Structures are given as C-alpha cells and as structure tokens.
Structure 1
C-alpha cells in the first residue's frame, strides 16, 4: 500500500481514485465495511482506492482536553488499511488552517484537484469542512458539481452501531471480549520490550515488560489471557498483567507485562525479547488487580492465572489470527 504523508507526496497524476474519509481509529468492523465497499467500488471503476485520514486527531487541535485515547497508532492504522485491501492512504496533517477550509474548498483541494476522485464512499453521517458544515447531502451536491459519484454506507452493527467510542468503553472496563467483537480481532498494544523490576522472574514468572510509549489503548487494570507475537511472528500464549503491582510498595506507574507460558526450555538464551517490538493481544479478562497479603498468596494466584489463561486460549484459531496479522504487516 502506498502511504502519502501530505499533498506533496501524492503523484501529480494519480489517475482516477475512489476515496473514503475518516479517522479510522481502531479500524473496527464498521470501518472495515466502508473499506470493503471502497475497494469494490474502485475495482469496478479501475480506480485506485484511497483512504484519506488526519493526524493528529482533530480534537487534539481543537479541544485537547476532550481528545480520547487512540485505540491504535498511525503504524497500526496503516497496516490495518493495507490488510483491508486499500491501495493508498493519504495522511493529512491536521491544523487550524485546514479546519478553516469550507466544505467545498476541502473537497476541491484534496479530492478533486489532488486525487482526481471519481467516486467517494462514506457513511451517511460524514462531516467535513469548516465547523463540520459539510454533510452527506453536501457531498452529493459537490459530486454533481465536480463530476464524481457518492456512495453512502449504512451504519454497521445490530443493537448498536460499531464505533471507536464503543471499543474505548469496553477496554476501559476491561471487557476485551466485547472490544474484540466490535474490532473483529483481538485488541492489541504494540511496544518495545524493556527491562523492568525483575520481580516476575524472581517469583518464577518472568515477564516481557512493554515500554511506556507503546501504541494502542491499554485496557483497565487486571490480568488477561492473550498472546505475545514477537518480531519473528512467533505467537506465544501469555498471561498478561496490567497495573502498578499493588502487592509491592512504591510502584505507581501502570505497566503492561506478559508472562509467556511456553518459553522454549532447550535454548532459553534464544528467547531474549529485550529490545524487540512485540504485539500483545488481549483475549479474555481473568480478574481485576488486587493486593495480596504476602508473596506465597501472590504466587498461588499467579499459578491459577496461568492455568485459566491456558484454558481461555485453548479454543483460539491461531492460524486465522496469524494470517490476519501477516496481512496487516505485509500488505
């Protein structure tokens, strides 16, 4: 997939394009429905499919105190768009200057002149232009004026419309299973493995600790069953802890740490994850984070956590998950 970071990187003659517009935070099932229709529309018209997005999130510019935590970083967003079959992504640096463009100026500058758009695929709730003055009806009217089609996509979901807000709510409660339903895949945090306090190793449960600048919204404190995917795409079952380790005094920073349950025993030195960028996926929440009165009780609970994590992961379709991740990375 081509990645264009601003108008300067768009080819001078991109040919006809099919374009959709959005933040695509999380690239959930609703987004995936739009992207599928985009790819289909592009194929039918021999056009290049393009997802137009913004960085930073508009709220980060207008009302940073109200800007939600992002479900995915830019890198993961690009990978997921590629996995959906999109040909190119145009990332527009969001600024107050951009926000001042009228709906028509935005469409003319980015869609018509830069992308030579032939069809726009968007949800019926699309908003664009100065103070979100542009609507789906506006887009249809501008399409008639500038000569492009507009295809509307209905909301995706049954009892509730799929949305990034829904995913954030679920993760905030630790309900990673509900988040998975909306995303269509396990939620993940991606980051570099760094050295921690080594308490897990001392207790017999060594962990891979993720750096504090990892990408992806961190779920609520607790213990989860999930997977760690290393830099070689090896998938390891893991019991994942999120929190500040309340059993030990003096720790206040939240940490994501994954205990890999099937570490290779023959050549343990080959299993050095330090410095690697890994992916930690969340499948099921096992319990909340609690403080234990003494190390023996903590160790006993960790043994139970590992057993329950194994049980939760037993029915997972590893082949499908690995195929999905490879498409996201290699797309």
Structure 2
C-alpha cells in the first residue's frame, strides 16, 4: 500500500484515483463500509483506491482542551486502513493553514491536481473545507466542475443487545459510540461497532512488581501507550508480543486501590504459558498490543495482598473461561 505524509510525496503522474476522506478514528464498521465501496468503485474504473486522512485529529488543533481521546494511534490506524484492501493513504498534516482552505481550494489542490480523482466516495454527512462549510452538495457541484463522479454512501448501523436482555438497540456506527462504550467498560459493544476487539499498543515498562511478588507478573504499558483507555476494571483479553505471538491474558486497568500511591495504568498478566517458556518470557522494552474482549468486574479495594491474590486467581480462571473458545481453536 502507498503511504504518503505530504502532497509532495505523491508522484506527479499518479492516478487516476477514486478517493474518500475522513478522520477514520477506529476504522469502525461504518468506515469499513465506505472503504469497501471505495475499493469496488476503483476496481470498476481501473483506478487506485486512496483514503485521505489527517494527523493530528482536527479537534486536537481547533479545541485541544476538549478534544476527545483517540480510539487508536496513528500506527494502528494506517495498519487497519491497509487491511481493508485500499491502494494508498494520504495522511495530511492538519494545521490551521490547511483548515483555512475553502472547499473549492481543497478539492482542486488535493483531489484534482495531486491525486487526479475520477470519483469520490463519501457519506451523506460529509463536511470539509474552511469552517466545515463544504457538504455533499458542494462536493457534487465541484465534481461537475472538475470532472469527477460523487458516490454517496448510506450510514451503516449496528445492533447490540440491550442491558435488560430484552431485545436489541440499533444505532449508526460512529467513533463517538465507540468512545461511549469504552468509557463505560463495555468493550463487547465497542467490538461490535469496530468489527474487532478494541486494542491498545505501547512499550512494556517496569512497574512496582507487586503482581510478580504475588505470583502474577504483568506487562505494564507505558503512559504514552496509544489507544483509548477503557473504564477501570479487570478484563479478559489478549496480548500480542513483539513477534506477533498471541497470548491469553487477564488485563487490569486502573490505579489498584488496594495499594496507595499507584497511578492509573494498564497491565496484562499472560495466562496458560508453557512452563518451559516462563523463565525466558521477557517483554520489557517490547512494543506489544493488548486486546480487550470482556470486562469481568470493576476495581475493588481489598483488605490486603492476600485477599487481592485470592481474587486474582478467580480473575485468571474467569479469563480462561471467557477465552476458552479461542484457546481451543488455537490449540
């Protein structure tokens, strides 16, 4: 897949292309629907399928104090976009100067002159250009002027079980819905919207080693780990080490209220490791991925390490049960 960080990186003779544009935070099922149509339209026209995205997120530039936390980091966003089968990504550096372009200026400079668009695939709610003044009708008018088609795609909705157990709720897939679900610790709903488990990525750093002393060594993610941190609690999930090996894990998110002075952190205890590999199992300094499958419980303050260790045995056993289907498939 082509990956460009600047318009100057795009070859002068590139094209024709079929384009879409958006932030694609999470690359959820709604995004995936647009990208599927993008690839299909490009193949029919013997053109390249290219997604235009932005880094940093526009909200981080316009309102840094209130911008939402990102669902995924840039590395995972580009990797997940590549998995959709598109041919290229133009990741534009978002600045106030870029934001000042009128819809016409942006389309002519980027879509027409640089990428030679023959078609543009967008949702009905698209907004672009200075002050988000451009919309679907604006794009259609500009397409007529510059000679490219505009293909509008309907929203994609997902259904999730109601908390009461009585039926399902259907809602338009959105990054906002993913964040709401993660904020509530509902990683299962987040996975239904994303089409895969929510994940974080970061370097393993040294912690206080309290877990190791109790028989539960953990891989602690660095504070600058990428990905939305879900609600405090204990989760069943997976750890992917630096080699890509996937390990079942019990994951803790929070400040561990049993001990004082502990900052909020994400740490994963790998379960079901073969005995002969334990002594050589060193993740420090590796960049790992942690995937969240199911929230088991919230954070609880225990009377001391013994009571906490007893609960941790139960958490590990419960994690093993939750992940048993995948464990059997991989075994």
Determine the structure 1 residue equivalent to 2:143: 143
Distance 1:281 1:272 in 2: 19
Determine the structure 1 residue equivalent to 2:162: none
Residue by residue, what CA displacement relative to the aligned partner does 1:15-54 show, whole Å, maximum 9, x if unpaired? 2001000000000000000000001111111111110011
Equivalent residue for 1:212, pick from 223, 236, 243: 223
Any gaps of 5 or more consecutive residues in structure 1?
Answer: 321-331
1:317 to 1:143, Cα distance in 2 relative to 1, 3 A: farther
Residue by residue, what CA displacement relative to the aligned partner does 1:216-241 show, whole Å, maximum 9, x if unpaired? 01101000000001111111110000
Determine the structure 2 residue equivalent to 1:241: 252
Equivalent residue for 2:300, pick from 290, 294, 311: 290
Residue by residue, what CA displacement relative to the aligned partner does 1:134-178 show, whole Å, maximum 9, x if unpaired? 000110111010000010110000521000000000000100001
The normalised TM-score by structure 2 is: 0.94
Bigger relative contact order, structure 1 or 2 (CA pairs below 8 A, ≥6 apart): 1
Q: Does 1:269 align with 2:279?
A: yes
Residue by residue, what CA displacement relative to the aligned partner does 1:237-275 show, whole Å, maximum 9, x if unpaired? 100001111101121x21110000122311423211111
Residue by residue, what CA displacement relative to the aligned partner does 1:173-192 show, whole Å, maximum 9, x if unpaired? 10000100000000000011
Determine the structure 2 residue equivalent to 1:36: 36
Determine the structure 2 residue equivalent to 1:278: 288
Q: Give the paired residue count.
A: 319
Residue by residue, what CA displacement relative to the aligned partner does 1:282-329 show, whole Å, maximum 9, x if unpaired? 000000001101222111110110111111111238879xxxxxxxxx
Determine the structure 2 residue equivalent to 1:85: 85
Q: Does 1:225 align with 2:225?
A: no
Q: Does 1:306 align with 2:316?
A: yes
Determine the structure 2 residue equivalent to 1:169: 180
Q: Does 1:316 align with 2:329?
A: no
The normalised TM-score by structure 1 is: 0.94
Task: Please identify, of 184-193 and 55-64, the stretch whose mean Cα deviation from structure 2 is larger.
Answer: 55-64
Q: Per the alignment, in what secondary structure is the counterpart of residue 270 of structure 1?
A: coil
Determine the structure 1 residue equivalent to 2:161: none
Equivalent residue for 1:187, pick from 183, 188, 198: 198
Distance 2:62 2:9 in 1: 26
Distance 1:96 1:73 in 2: 21
The answer (yes or no) to whether the contact 1:264–1:271 under 8 Å persists in 2 is no
Q: Per the alignment, in what secondary structure is the counterpart of residue 325 of structure 2?
A: coil
Determine the structure 1 residue equivalent to 2:116: 116
Q: Does 1:75 align with 2:65?
A: no
Q: Per the alignment, in what secondary structure is the counterpart of residue 214 of structure 1?
A: coil
Distance 2:328 2:103 in 1: 45
Distance 1:18 1:217 in 2: 31
Q: Per the alignment, in what secondary structure is the counterpart of residue 50 of structure 1?
A: strand
1:259 to 1:44, Cα distance in 2 relative to 1, 3 A: same
- RMSD of Structure 2 on Structure 1 (CA): 1.2
Determine the structure 2 residue equivalent to 1:329: none
Distance 1:243 1:35 in 2: 36
Distance 1:66 1:180 in 2: 25
Any gaps of 5 or more consecutive residues in structure 2?
Answer: 159-169
